[in-house]
Structure 1
Amino acid sequence: MKVAADPDPSLVSQPDMEPEAAKDKDSFRNYTSGPLLDRVFATYKLMHTWQTVDFVRRKHAQFGGFSYKRMTVMEAVDMLDGLVDESDPDVDFPNSFHAFQTAEGIRKAHPDKDWFHLVGLLHDLGKVLALAGEPQWAVVGDTFPVGCRPQASVVFRDCTFQDNPDLQDPLYSTELGMYQPHCGLENVLMSWGHDGEAGWGRGRRGPSGAAPLGARGDPPSPTEYMYRMMKFNKFALPPEAFYIIRFHSFYPWHKFGDYQQLCNEQDLAMLPWVQEFNKFDLYTKSSSLPDVAALRPYYQGLVDKYCPGILCW
């Protein structure tokens, strides 16, 4: 089912929450009104102007070596105390609280899946890039494929892409753009952000639109920042965890069913996990903030189990 109207109604059920924390689901992701709308629109306008194929490739080169900082997962969580996401129309408090809210929502609904609890804590840690001097439009917000025409459900699509140079390109401005049909999201170049972007190479078409680049032994595809960081540091998590981290911000796909022309069987098999995670990423947001000090020992134990030590970021 595809929905193209804002505000964004849920396609999945809202998780159980305490009455004082519950919020009408139609009031989440409201991009038509609200006290934060001007800030949110300005962030997306910059994002949709400057997120291009060339920009994303340059960001891979800049951050692909994981030489920004060495720190533990919990130190990264603490850094998010200093970040308020300027693309989020729902909350105006530091992102560290959102990490614990998401994790606790998952823990309540899935008590037997401790790895899933940890994904809730980890999912936005890539936003530390905003504290490394990156502008928020290059870190936060919904992700979308670059190198092809934005589809209907991309936030503010009709009024923010006018100055994006890629949309003047005869290849990049088509529905498939530089990709082969059903090449798989792992081979799609996503906008740069805290999740990063998926691999690029095997699913891309050459300048003539004929053969896919990568078919002639090109180097392996680079992958998104947070996903690659987890792989680089050998996080002992199941494949579902890595997939959720990769694509949880790709709302046009997992929420609205757009970009099906790029998906393969693996994407469709993993989609239910991303949608299940989305319930907690979105609907656990509340001005009733968690007691982080009380929760910290439990999550420190999960970090020690699945991703211990000093990590390269």
Structure 2
Amino acid sequence: MRVLSETSPVHIIDPSELLRPEPKFATKDIAAFRNYAIDEEDPIQERVRKTYLEMHTNQTVDYVRKKIDLWCKFDTFKSTMKDALIKLNELVDESDPDVDIPNIVHAFQTAERIRKDHPNDDWFQLTGLIHDAGKVMAFYGEPQWSVVGDTFVVGADWGPSIVYRDTSFHNNPDGDNPKYNTKYGMYEPNCGLDKLVMSWGHDEYLYRMLKHNNAKLPPHALNMIRFHSFYPWHSGGDYGHLLTEKDQKETKKWVLAFNQYDLYTKSTTVPDIEALWPYYEKLIDKYIPGVLSW
């Protein structure tokens, strides 16, 4: 068991920050956001494409199961939530075309916007603060395509709205496996979100870590964390045949309510993090206290 103490920075590309299919939430014209067009002359778009190519080639059922087995022993390191968030100050999304800020700044921007709109929902504010904390996996050997980016279901045919869907899955062995390459794959119709195996990343890891450490956040907060990068579902409209009515109505409502703050709160205005810490430390102590097993 290690203690969170490494100091060397990890610069990580998060392609999921480049474009989102929810322009109704954007405060600027959607054309101002980068897109997923293939342009070999554009270094950022090429980095994003290659990140997703690695992800879509390697994220198989077997791969995800191995990562669950590895990370969900929760014996990698011990840390308070505050110290894990501070560690994110060394993690910069180099793919962001608008602002070059540490992940912790984005965390406080998200939390503070939620706090402004929902002053009485402290659990919602804390969810905004911690939602990317699972990215600490990048400091412990996980490649960026196994930490960031849009998530998708493994073990069934890949959703048509997944970015680069038609060009990036050709070498994924699950595509040739009849157990996994059909509409339902290894699932039953309308089995529900809880029965689906998601591609591995910071969402699923943080969700499982919080459950393991008996976090006191409400179930809808945990769902916001677990599915906020599942864009093929909540924005692309895919996978409806695997979901329940509750998933499609209640859970999606909560996830979309969160995502409007996650996506479009970034700006050049940096919150006074030191001044804000006392308030958010109280929320951490209320919902996720003490030293946690990661």
The alignment's TM-score, normalised by the length of structure 2, stands at 0.87
Q: Which residue of 2 aligns with 1:282?
A: 263
Q: Aligned partner of 1:152: which letter?
A: P
Q: Which amino acid aligns with 1:234?
A: N
2: CA distance, partners of 1:26 / 1:178: 39
Q: CA deviation at 1:92?
A: 3.7
1:160 aligns with 2:168: yes
Q: Which has the higher helix share?
A: 2
Deviates more, 1:290-299 or 1:81-90: 81-90
Counterparts of 2:144 and 2:161 in 1: how far apart (Å)?
21
Distance 2:223 2:31 in 1: 27
Residue 123 of structure 2 aligns with an amino acid whose one-letter code is W
Superposed CA offset, 1:104-150 (max 9, x none): 11111111111000000111111000111111111111100011111
Between the two proteins, the alignment pairs up a number of residues equal to 273
- Is the 8 Å Cα contact of residues 23 and 30 (structure 2) preserved in structure 1? no
DSSP-derived class of the 2:70 partner: helix
1:87–1:140 contact (8 Å) kept in structure 2: no
CA distance in 2 between counterparts of 1:194 and 1:50 reads 16
In 2: Cα distance, 1:303 partner to 1:185 partner: 27
Query: Does the 8 Å contact 1:37/1:89 carry over to 2?
Result: no
Structure 1 residues 109, 58: CA separation in 2 closer, same or farther (over 3 Å shift)?
Answer: same
| Coordinate RMSD, CA, aligned | 2.0
CA contact (8 A) 1:182 1:261 kept: yes
Match of 1:266 in 2: 246
1:47 aligns with 2:55: yes
Structure 2 spans left out of the alignment, 5+ residues: 1-17
Partner residue, 2:219? 239
Secondary structure of residue in 1 paired with 2:215 = coil
Structure 1 segment 95-244 matched on structure 2, within 5 A: 95-196=103-204, 225-244=205-224
Alpha-carbon deviation of 1:90? Answer: 5.7
Q: Measured at CA, do residues 80 and 256 of structure 1 come closer, stay the same or move farther in structure 2, by a change above 3 Å?
A: same
- Partner AA of 1:305 in structure 2: K
- Give the aligned partner of residue 310 of structure 1: 291
Runs of at least 4 residues of structure 1 off by over 6 A? none
- Offset at 1:300? 1.0
Q: Report percent identity of matched pairs.
A: 55
* Equivalent-residue separation in structure 2 for 1:86 and 1:150 (angstroms): 27
2:30 & 2:80 partners in 1: Cα distance? 34
How far, CA to CA, are the matches of 2:95 and 2:240 in structure 1?
25
Provide the rounded CA distance (Å) in 2 between the counterparts of 1:261 and 1:53.
19
Aligned to 2:36: 31
Higher mean displacement: 71-80 or 285-294:
285-294
Cα 1:172–1:191 change in 2 (3 A) is: same
Q: Distance in 2 between matches of 1:69 and 1:39?
A: 30
SS at structure 2 position matched to 1:159: coil
**Which shifted more, 148-157 or 79-88?**
79-88
Contact 1:43–1:87 (8 Å) recurs in 2: no
Alignment match, 1:300:
281
